[in-house]
Structure 1
């Protein structure tokens, strides 16, 4: 398959490990830890998510390739925590942002960019009668919860406890393993249900009659599709009980389809929240939905108004220009189709390599083709952080930077084939660890750690039924993944 977005540089992917050096990256990472809590601005980007001494600090990207401070080039997957679908440095988006910036970035009145972006977005998304733009995913998920509470007069929020992340704000992050600093009064206003389990939703509604303001979930994840009738059942329950149904389209939006997962599965929410691929890596997010709900945060309402989103940078021109250029790219070619085709090619290649190595039960590929993750299992076929780290180590040694196999439309056949070859080489070492029953002597340093963790046992969501938990970027629960996409 020929791609329009090319790649620059080369990645060494031979079976024998390359002699990559990470000295400059290591030095920069140490300095980052002195200046930035956690050493990165997103937990999923932290050095503890990578093999010890092999956490590249990047300086540039082009297409599907990135280069670090030491001059190493890698084929990259994950693509900005799934935010980049068109490739790094995609020229039409960069040109549009540059033009917008040259004419002024922020004004004291709305700009024409706001009108153009709103018209385009509402035409693109089935459930979008109105839209409000912001900069981060957490901005708009929290705004959705506030709208729901204001519109319903209720206080509880029901979140899908078998999905990993919705917001950095108190209403959600207080339910995670990193709840320090969140008052119990805030934590206790969030309750949990399970994905693909309508009975668990009914149980929450029965336990808290007339109190649930909003129910929020991702319609699908990298490793789970909605069961027949599940989303439709949520829609019926929302209509019957009166809560606001919120679909989180941070990942699915413009990766499942330009119109989001709601256009794929045919169930329209009351509100939906967007980010990531909306700007191909530029900072732009959106809250969209029914006009009557959105106007609760507007000017023309007879009811008490909600302070919705009033931000200095929410509608600065470069983010909106990026979105409009991304929308143009999706209109000009089948971006999602390209990602799905290249993801299928990657999946087939990795599965064949694993089969040939006798490791099909140990290294697996899961998920939608445009959003693949891998699983790493030990000798006993249990998810393993140590074996995951060994796999990451061997991929990095062969020029592949991959916390997951989340692809972009910039990944060429050559990029995918090079990745498969790198996997073949990595599996030689992985197989040695499986045979030995341990990564000792093969893994250099400590295993990667879960991004969301605390010293004591994690707190459970109130009313969460057994079976909660899950992973994020890097493979979900099956993978023994160390990364959840924390932050937006």
Structure 2
């Protein structure tokens, strides 16, 4: 696991073919080549637990595991067995199944603030349905969203980002923004548009930001005062902060909540949940105008629902979150200690919630820097650790954590040299990584560096 000079020749060949056939070379921007060092971007073949193997036979400890969607580990046998049993009897049908009822009962038992749930496949399905439902309930068009990284691939959110081409200007102006942990900024938005905001949407917490005392309670009170629905995005926090969601951790009840990622341990499933008085507008029996809430062919297919029920069982009988948090605390403490020992405590830091860690990388001036971040990623990959962060799963073992600390300690050596030199020149191979959501493309090369 700690042998530098790995070959990525097969990955490089496949990456060029991927770019010829798939825009961006990947189906998710966060998986793109530009998120990884130019000559250390593996194409993966399989995984088991917290380990993955690429097409060159390289083995890695994986973090950020499945873009935070895998909390029990790759190939977790009870989930696979449950899915195999379910799909042996068919995958999709023309009428609802018992499995849909059982999955809904499981979900609503875990999330007592919700009274109804509807399943889909992607987090964006759920958040966009929440926005549409809130607009129908309130008769208002505007949406207030927190200045947080990502809520949806749909126009109402993408229009606020640097990649807004293709989104009509009228759609862009219908989404307003406020700052996290700043209730006054939300109050200002709502006061400037009284009776016009359909919903307030935010993540209750992120990997790097916890709610300050009273913030979420103030958001709840402002929504009630101005007649806007409160929507929590639980797509990351659900099954990582708690199987009951961040709303249970912070004891603030939303009107609607959106779920995904870890619900299926990598199998595609998401959910919109909420109070019956709102959710039932998307049903058949309503005296009000009906809402086209969610109507998906594959939302109730057997594999995703069976995976979800198996995940629920794993959380019922075990403590995946406790294991993630214990491993995360050990990892953060050890890597931060290694950084301090190298004189890099002000430049490299592991921060965040223990189950959802990220690393901060600063240059010699103490400023966050993509080139220095890339240098650290390059070092980690060279020593068998794959990940844009240290987001854990319950499958990360003591041996995985120990090996990661060894890899990080080795990766800090060239980082120390770069800090001393004030530059990554001569240490970083290829171009720096770039933000996934940005207005212009970064230069790219899809062939191997001829240097050894």
TM-score of the pair, normalised by structure 1: 0.90
1:209-220 alignment, distance < 5 Å: 209-220=194-205
- Per-residue CA distance 1:254-273 (angstroms, 9 max, x = gap): 00001010110000100000
- Per-residue CA distance 1:337-363 (angstroms, 9 max, x = gap): 000000001011101111111101110
Determine the structure 2 residue equivalent to 1:420: 405
Of the candidates 131, 144, 151, which is equivalent to residue 117 of structure 2? 131
The Cα shift of 1:186 comes to 0.7
Of the candidates 172, 191, 216, which is equivalent to residue 187 of structure 1? 172
Is the 1:398–1:422 Cα contact (8 Å) retained in structure 2? yes
Determine the structure 2 residue equivalent to 1:200: 185
Of the candidates 64, 85, 101, which is equivalent to residue 99 of structure 1? 85
Secondary structure of the 2:390 match is coil
Residues 1:34 and 2:17 aligned together: no
- Per-residue CA distance 1:232-269 (angstroms, 9 max, x = gap): 11111111211000000010000000101011000010
Determine the structure 2 residue equivalent to 1:52: 38
RMSD value over aligned CA atoms? 0.8
Determine the structure 2 residue equivalent to 1:483: none
The Cα shift of 1:126 comes to 2.7
Distance 1:197 1:266 in 2: 19
Distance 2:250 2:440 in 1: 40
Determine the structure 1 residue equivalent to 2:390: 405
- Per-residue CA distance 1:130-189 (angstroms, 9 max, x = gap): 00000000001000000000000000000002x110000010001100000000011110
Residues 1:115 and 2:101 aligned together: yes
1:260-299 alignment, distance < 5 Å: 260-299=245-284
Distance 1:383 1:133 in 2: 39
Determine the structure 2 residue equivalent to 1:450: 435
1:366-445 alignment, distance < 5 Å: 366-445=351-430
The Cα shift of 1:128 comes to 1.4
Is the 1:126–1:263 Cα contact (8 Å) retained in structure 2? no
The Cα shift of 1:101 comes to 1.0
Secondary structure of the 1:133 match is strand
Distance 1:235 1:382 in 2: 35
Secondary structure of the 2:143 match is strand
Distance 2:318 2:227 in 1: 40
Determine the structure 1 residue equivalent to 2:129: 143
* Count of residue correspondences: 441
Secondary structure of the 1:185 match is helix
Distance 2:39 2:5 in 1: 13
Distance 2:155 2:37 in 1: 31
Distance 1:260 1:39 in 2: 33
Is the 1:126–1:268 Cα contact (8 Å) retained in structure 2? no
Distance 2:113 2:174 in 1: 27
Determine the structure 1 residue equivalent to 2:59: 73
Distance 1:418 1:34 in 2: 36
Secondary structure of the 1:424 match is helix
Of the candidates 202, 209, 229, which is equivalent to residue 224 of structure 1? 209
The Cα shift of 1:65 comes to 0.2
- Per-residue CA distance 1:304-347 (angstroms, 9 max, x = gap): 11101011101001000000000000011111100000000101
Distance 2:438 2:5 in 1: 33
Distance 1:366 1:53 in 2: 27
The Cα shift of 1:53 comes to 1.8
TM-score of the pair, normalised by structure 2: 0.97
The Cα shift of 1:455 comes to 3.1
1:312-327 alignment, distance < 5 Å: 312-327=297-312
